Amino acid sequence: MKKFAESELILNPDGSIYHLKLKPEHIADTIIVVGDPKRVPTVSKYFDTVTFTCENRELVTHTGTFNKKPITVLSTGMGPDNIDIVINELDALVSIDLEKRVLKETPGKLNIIRLGTSGALQNDIPIDSFVASTHGLGIDGVLNFYKVPDGLFDDDIANAFMQQTNWSPRLPRPYVAKGSEKLLKKIAHDFIHGITATAPGFFGPQGRELRMPLAFPELNEKIEAFHYKDHFISNFEMETSALYGLGRLMGHEMLTVCVIIANRVSKQFSKDYKPHMEKLIQTVLERATS
């Protein structure tokens, strides 16, 4: 049986996983992930109880109960690179015997729901509405470093996207990973549904131009115009593709739901999205534990 080396599975002196500083008993099977560490207490204030807290860098964890069921909320920080760290370490907590450094006979299975903010890429998606990601379209490149079994990702959508956008070979090869149908039906059946494009940055990679000119100034328009069968790209953010891709590889259930705080087509920005985020938090907590 393969034993994971100390340089690959890094643990702290107390036996906790390196970045998260968590042990297996510190997390629930249902985990809400948020980007902003300050959003963790915004979620956990609704818990019935908070039984464990931990903080390391931008990674803040609160575990407790809601509707008498165990639940965890965890901040990831921004970007697909952070997601790569967080999801790998969460998976290690439930799928690897950390003391023996070997894979468990039965890997664990997590329900991971990302609550975020996002910018809409379709003119008819209202500010402050809720969008659920059916798929994550990755232009970030993270999953290109993993060996993906044939048929696990939606290559037809990715190939159509590259063809319609005349995708440059200078950019990372796009990939498309599907989210959890189970969580989509349970939590976001009445939300707007669409593909979420995931970029490795906020400015240039999402078509924002300040001082530095863009290498591909027409890319956003091509992304907005993309259609394949019934699929279209609803919004832009920085985490979903890595979340969905890693979840598919590891066998976890993943869902992203976002409050739309800006519309990139109409150039509108929410006057105050916080009440809508509070509503989304309460809705997700109720449905995730029902």
Could you tell me what percent of the chain has a pLDDT over 90? 99
Per-residue pLDDT averaged across 30-42, rounded? Answer: 97
Binning pLDDT at 50, 70 and 90, where does residue 141 land? very high
24-288, CATH topology level: Rossmann fold (3.40.50)
Taking the C-alpha atoms of residue 146 and residue 167, their distance in angstroms, rounded to an integer, is 21
The single-letter DSSP state of residue 71 is: E
CB 242 within 8 A of CB 137: no
CB neighbour class for 215 (10 Å; exposed up to 12, middle 13-18, buried from 19): exposed
Cα dihedral sign for 239, 245, 251, 256?
Answer: positive
| Prediction pTM value | 0.96
Q: What is the pLDDT of residues 166-184, one digit of tens each?
A: 999 999 999 999 999 999 9
Q: What is the pLDDT of residues 202-250, one digit of tens each?
A: 999 999 999 999 999 999 999 999 999 999 999 999 999 999 999 999 9
Label the pairing between strands 175-178 and 30-34: unpaired
Across the chain, what does the average pLDDT equal? 97
Label the pairing between strands 253-263 and 231-237: unpaired
Tell how far CA 24 is from the center of its chain.
21
- With a cut of 80, say whether residue 1 has pLDDT above it: no
Between vectors from CA 231 to CA 198 and to CA 160, what angle results, nearest 5°? Answer: 75
